[in-house]
Structure 1
Amino acid sequence: METVGTSSTNDELSHQVSLDIEILAQSVKKELQISYAFSDTCCIYKVPERLRELNEKAYTPRLVSIGPIHHGKEKLKAMQDHKIMYLQEFLAQSEVSVEGFIELIKEKETRLRNCYAETNGFSSEYFIKMILMDAAFVIMFLLKYSFTDFRGSRDSIFYPPYKRFDVRVDICLLENQLPFFILEELYRLSTIFGNSPKPTLIELTHRFFTVAFDLWAVGDILGKVDFSEVKHLVEFLSTYHQPPKQNPKEKLEVVAAPSVKELHQAGVKFVLGSSKNLLDIKFDRNKGTLEIPRLKLEDRTEIIIRNMLAFEQCHDMEYVYVGDYICLMGLFLGANKDVEILVENRVIENWLPSDEEVVKLFDNLNIGNLVSPDDFFFEGLIKDLNAFCGRPWNKWKATLKQNYFNTPWAAISVSGAVILLILTVVQSVCSILEVV
């Protein structure tokens, strides 16, 4: 039997196996160093399929990808030149080297990856480059939106064909986010504004939202609400209407409330609320007045609300008030007449094509909305409304007022008829007495 070279061959095979194991072990260790898949700090998610299938366009960027989830998609690649241009401008105005920004991102890479439900397996080099370009784009977009001096004449986002209207929506989609902390740190490292007073990124973002999304943003909120812990722009929007800490709610048997028309028929008067917090809906049982803050509805409303709802459902949050608000408004607005009443009372500012579109909007938003009767935010409110509508006297009084005293002439006519009836009765009594 031929045995020459067998020992040498076995040694080579053993050495090769050892090398393969070592390479594999190094690969596994590298994966473990970036343990982002199930991190407690995850805050940027893929929208659940059960929500996406209801309106996929509401969760999908039209022009620009931000972050890893939609990165590299063919229809979004056209904005790459804009990202490069914005990065050049950011570097030029920052007086910080590109190496300085890359070093900062590299130090935060694990934390950044931990923020995403998935990062598409990007290499460290590719991931850092993507974060830098996307962060520079978002920061420069916020600056240009608020300060016209930052806009260049060749910028088609802010000049014809005015792509900013799509971009401002794209950067508010849940799947299209960067962690807010990296935007803050890169912005803070830059020397944009030079010796002039430099707004914080929170102030800059707030300024953007009050212009771009006045339907949801509250103008005088800074200093009253803490934005320091926001995780991204979607949560920034949600935080505008964050309620104060609540006492535990009583469990409801069922989440149900009268419609606006039913409330109106029961004598409830609708008043435009002075508060800008949409959750600040108040009912005065003694006066029978329901105070509701103004709600502006337009074509972007569904997209913005859907992404806030998706974030609430994906993230472990102390409050889920956006979903509860949408549920309540859906209960109120079940028919065109309900919308008409709130429009007449200036509670709803409707920029949608019709009242019917408003009804459809809340119907659609409530498909897939998760609401719990155990801790419904408006538990006390709907209990009071149901109790008020359940009293027959309130309905009788309202019917009398709405049907017979709804105008001065109607009131005069009814009063005249009552007086005439009284006089007729008196005359009849007198006639009877004369006969007797």
Structure 2
Amino acid sequence: MDVSIDMKKLADSLSWKLETLPPLSKDCSIYRVAEPTRCSNPRHFTPRMVSIGPFHHGKEELKPMEEHKQRYLKYFLQRTKVSMVSFLTFIKKRETKLRNCYAETIRNLGSDEFVAMVLADAGFLIEFFMRYYKPRLITDDDRIFRKPQWHKEIWHDFLLVENQLPLFILKDLFDQAKITAREDAFYENISFVKITCFWFRNHVLGFLPLDENSLEIHFSKAEHFLDLIILSLQPSQPRAQIIIKDQNIPSVKELHQAGVKFKPAAGSTKNLLDINFNQGILEIPFFKVLDTTELVFRNLLAFESMHGYNGYFNDYIIMMACLISCPKDAELLVQNDVIRLGNTETVPTVFGNLGRDCTLYSDDFQYSGVVTNLQAYRKLPWHKWKATLKQNYFNTPWASISVIAAVILLLLTATQTVSSLIAL
């Protein structure tokens, strides 16, 4: 057998594969989590009740929700009076753009299946936000908002990095429905931005502090829901960067012993990432720690890293993981109204788990100035002496009275001793 002929066939076969590789878009914004990251925390990246988009579409464990998605789509179509053909045609014209939003080629869905999936998922999300915004739209057969009230569980799936639809198609479909249903009073003075941000304010901002106006400001630039949160967390003015020579960020307990005080960020500051230190006071924006905090934070970290953003959220997690390294740290922040939670044991675990997936870059750390000032403050002996005196001897009114009485008694004793010596 002529080996060169076999090699020619193999080369032709390989060349054909190379030539037929599907193009990858530089505009992708929806990613599948890398396997090493997924393996360590698979439940944090996997939808539990509903699939949104192609990555988890058709999974057996998520099929029970498909019927409810179809019911929502049916009500949406009836209310808007837009034909299904019109919507499908509208999506079909944008199929290439939609597919380009995903970081991998969607091979398991043909064109018709993909377009139908987008309509079902988009109709479901739009109807969900409409019903949340206007409860009078909730029907008696609604299993999501009536019994068994799955909306309390389902919303976590909306914030998974792999479970997203591009925002542009949701907004465009809503606008098409609004144009067709001009006579419906419900659509007056509302937009998809308005009903979506209403849900975010009531469901997400409860544990993830953001400036409310930032949602509307960044909505037009956001690729999807997770991107909207990351954009809203971006600082309006980046901090001046200095290199951290000492990467040992002190804990809350250590800072407390050095006399640092803690308080929730005051004024109009609501952004989760706005940690500041000034005149012995460390200000940390107030936030709640819920069962879902680690899940949402982990997906934000994954998306921020894969999408190539500056690591602002990465830096926040590192900072909080160092500050809250044990239950005593969490307890001190609870006492100072910085965080709210049911169990102080869980917070160090949450941030510790998250911190393992983060990297501190000493020359590009957004809290470098804060850390440097904290370290300098902690090194001054006077601050520690003053804190020790206050915490150990003046921590209660009775303790203060006892110390003052002891000092007075000591002074009287000393005076009496001096007087006796003078008399001699």
User: What is the TM-score normalised by the length of structure 2?
Assistant: 0.90
CA distance in 2, matches of 1:254, 1:70: 44
CA distance in 2, matches of 1:100, 1:374: 53
8 Å CA contact 2:218, 2:232 repeated in 1: no
Matching residue within 371, 380, 384 for 2:360: 371
What percent of counterpart residues are identical?
42
The aligned amino acid for 2:159 is C
8 Å CA contact 2:241, 2:364 repeated in 1: yes
The aligned amino acid for 2:130 is L
8 Å CA contact 1:216, 1:240 repeated in 2: no
* Residue 131 in structure 1 maps to residue 131 in structure 2: no
Residue 254 (structure 1) shift: 4.7
8 Å CA contact 1:313, 1:370 repeated in 2: no
User: What residue number does 1:11 align with?
Assistant: none
Matching residue within 326, 331, 349 for 2:340: 349
8 Å CA contact 2:211, 2:232 repeated in 1: no
CA distance in 1, matches of 2:247, 2:145: 45
The aligned amino acid for 2:270 is K
Residue 62 (structure 1) shift: 0.8
CA distance in 1, matches of 2:239, 2:322: 24
Q: How far does the alpha carbon of each residue in 1:54-83 deviate from its partner, in whole angstroms, 9 at most, with x for none?
A: 211111001111111001111111112112
1:374–1:112 Cα change, 3 Å? same
8 Å CA contact 2:289, 2:339 repeated in 1: yes
User: What residue number does 1:385 align with?
Assistant: 374
CA distance in 1, matches of 2:26, 2:215: 29
CA distance in 2, matches of 1:135, 1:255: 46
* Residue 100 in structure 1 maps to residue 94 in structure 2: no
8 Å CA contact 1:225, 1:239 repeated in 2: no
User: What residue number does 1:158 align with?
Assistant: 145
Matching residue within 178, 199, 212 for 1:208: 199
Larger Rg belongs to:
1
The aligned amino acid for 1:328 is M
SS for the counterpart of 2:359 is coil
* Residue 290 in structure 1 maps to residue 282 in structure 2: yes
CA distance in 1, matches of 2:336, 2:414: 42
* 373-382 or 245-254: bigger deviation: 245-254
Residue 416 (structure 1) shift: 1.5
The aligned amino acid for 2:71 is M
1:219–1:85 Cα change, 3 Å? farther
CA distance in 2, matches of 1:223, 1:60: 25
Residue 222 (structure 1) shift: 4.8
* 104-113 or 340-349: bigger deviation: 104-113
Matching residue within 309, 316, 336 for 2:301: 309
Q: Which structure 1 segments of 5+ residues have no match? A: 1-20
8 Å CA contact 2:262, 2:333 repeated in 1: yes
SS for the counterpart of 1:278 is coil
8 Å CA contact 1:405, 1:411 repeated in 2: yes
User: What residue number does 2:400 align with?
Assistant: 411
8 Å CA contact 1:250, 1:374 repeated in 2: yes
User: What residue number does 2:273 align with?
Assistant: 279
1:119–1:93 Cα change, 3 Å? farther
Q: Which structure 2 segments of 5+ residues have no match? A: 1-11
Which residues of 2 match residues 164-175 of structure 1 at below 5 A? 164-175=151-162
* 235-244 or 407-416: bigger deviation: 235-244
CA distance in 2, matches of 1:57, 1:238: 21
* Residue 189 in structure 1 maps to residue 164 in structure 2: no
The aligned amino acid for 2:116 is K
* Residue 120 in structure 1 maps to residue 106 in structure 2: yes
Q: How far does the alpha carbon of each residue in 1:177-230 deviate from its partner, in whole angstroms, 9 at most, with x for none?
A: 001111111111112672442422222111111222221154732588432100
Matching residue within 31, 39, 49 for 1:53: 39
How many residues of Structure 1 are paired with residues of Structure 2 in the alignment?
402
CA distance in 1, matches of 2:70, 2:139: 14
8 Å CA contact 1:68, 1:119 repeated in 2: no
The aligned amino acid for 2:124 is F
User: What residue number does 1:90 align with?
Assistant: 76
Matching residue within 10, 21, 28 for 1:42: 28
The aligned amino acid for 1:106 is K
SS for the counterpart of 2:212 is coil
SS for the counterpart of 2:29 is coil
CA distance in 2, matches of 1:355, 1:56: 25
SS for the counterpart of 2:345 is helix
Q: How far does the alpha carbon of each residue in 1:102-123 deviate from its partner, in whole angstroms, 9 at most, with x for none?
A: 2221221111111101243121
* Residue 67 in structure 1 maps to residue 53 in structure 2: yes
The aligned amino acid for 2:70 is I
1:216–1:260 Cα change, 3 Å? same
User: What residue number does 1:426 align with?
Assistant: 415
* 294-303 or 239-248: bigger deviation: 239-248
1:298–1:199 Cα change, 3 Å? same
